[in-house]
A and B are shown apart, each in its own frame.
Chain A
Amino acid sequence: MKKHIFFLFVLLTPLFLLSSASFTQSQKDKDLILGNWKPSNGRSVVQIYKGNPQNGEDPEKYYGKIVWLSEPNDENGNPRTDINNDDKELRKKALKGLVIMKDMEFEEVDGKVVYWEGGTIYDPNNGSTYDFESEINKKNPNTMDGRGFIGVSLFGRTDTWTRMVRK
């Protein structure tokens, strides 16, 4: 009996280690999107994080908030707010800290490219919200192509975001 258990242990341990390593790698790929990113216009930095249930966010999804602005204040010297929002109540909300990317879900890893989709992105410059998807090539994990689009991905625009790293 002991022999059989030992044999089973020897057989299953590599499988367990393999699946564990695979799970870790998969989670690493999923979380490649996490971090601080600068859109191509260089006017802001967006911090992408995993959803916080305390804020009503899904912990399995990814969200992005503005953490830095090249022009933090308006013409009057006051912190810039979301003045272009269609909802008048939200126009007083500070741009810094505003969650502009929501509900991004990991989709798949295809070769070296990792995909997230199903999210939305809000453009404070015009107060419009677009569908959003993104991809990172693992060969260059410091750039991310984010695509805002209307309904179908064909009608959209891709912007390359650059990862901000500690000096």
Chain B
Amino acid sequence: MLFLLCPLILAAQEEEFDMSAFEEASDAKVFVTNKILGLSPTKLLNLSFDYAGQNTWTTTSGDAFPGNFPESESNFNSNYGLRLETNYPVISNNRLIVNAYLNYWESRYNADASEPPVAQFFNNNELRTTALGAVIFKPLDDRQFLLFQLEGAINGNYNFNDINVDFGKTKFSGSALYGWKSNDYTNIAFGVSRTYRGGRLLHLPVFMFNKTFNETWGLEVLLPARAYLRRNFSPKSFLMLGGELEGQSYHLQGPASNTFQGDLANNDWELRKSEIRTRISWDRAITDFIWFNVQAGTIITYRLDVDTTATSPDAWLTNSLGIPFYFRFGIQLVSP
């Protein structure tokens, strides 16, 4: 009997699916997803090496300086460091996506021994950034969503030896956006942000716009953080042309800061650094999940000053810099 039924069962399996005869089960609610077709993939892990070429800093006293700091010119041979970025999906379903991330960046300067004290300070003190954060995507219905980002970062010249991390100087930042997904190729969001990307603490409006025009071209914009024009060669190979605003306020402390401060009495300082990285970047899959990234461009320094706080618009010392060339190479583990 079963044998006789087999052809009927197989015939039923091969039957053309008529969508008009079906509907979604009534108790299921549909929510908007965060996926935009053609968008650059989310990275679970990214290990990269960043290298910037020769640069000259001219250091002068700022508006907050009580007196006159002797102007100096420091020549740096290079500025380089490793960057490890992890992004782990803690919760990932249709109703809520929570990605936790942990980033660790190093920034090492190299200057000759004959250079002024400012250069020697950076020669002897690596700058480090350790950031722990979360990105939360909360769909409201089949179109609208909320997006949150929260971060606590420890930035400074701590070295896990004689200069310890000062957790009291943790920099907290965050963003909150409301947006909607117009279709599978476009989403838009607006919001506000508390950020250190400008070097010091700022509260700014945020605008997100992701658009895939066709299989070849797209835009990925999150202002003021970054904006890119994307050129897809395939889903596993694409170029990005644009720029990113990177910035932190580093807490400088410990005995080494005496060298830097010179005649300044206080040894508790904030180095406020903000730079625009213009770049062309190429991502390509080596296997389904392992990708590489190479990028090159220039660093335009928007702010590099020193003050006693991370919030004041005035500074004790300011620096004007050249525009060095940089490149970065990275290996990534890409999310499904």
Which residues of A does B touch, CB under 8 Å? Answer: 36, 38, 40-43, 45, 47, 49, 52, 54, 67-68, 75, 84, 123, 125-130, 140, 142-143, 145, 147-150, 154-160, 162-167
Contacts and interface: CB of A to CB of B under 8 A. Distances in A.
Nearest to B91: A158
Contacts of B235: 84, 125-127
A156 B17 contact: no
Given A142-B27, A163-B28, A41 B35 contact: yes
**Interface of chain A: mostly helix, strand, loop or mixed:** strand
Contact of B92 (A43, A128, A129, A157): A157
Interface string B62-105: 00000000000000000000000000110011110000000000
A165 B184 contact: no
Interface of B: 10, 13, 17, 19, 21-25, 27-28, 30-31, 33, 35, 37, 41, 44, 88-89, 92-95, 184, 214, 234-236, 288-289, 333, 335-336
**Interface of chain B: mostly helix, strand, loop or mixed:** loop
B333 A155 contact: yes
Given A38-B24, A84-B234, A52 B13 contact: yes
A166 B22 contact: yes
B98 to A, nearest CB: 12
Contact of A160 (B10, B41, B94, B214): B94
B333 to A, nearest CB: 7
Contact of A150 (B21, B31, B35, B333): B333
Contacts of B35: 41
Contacts of A159: 33, 93-94
14 contacts: A40-B30, A40-B33, A45-B17, A52-B13, A123-B336, A127-B235, A128-B236, A129-B288, A143-B28, A159-B33, A160-B95, A164-B22, A164-B23, A165-B24
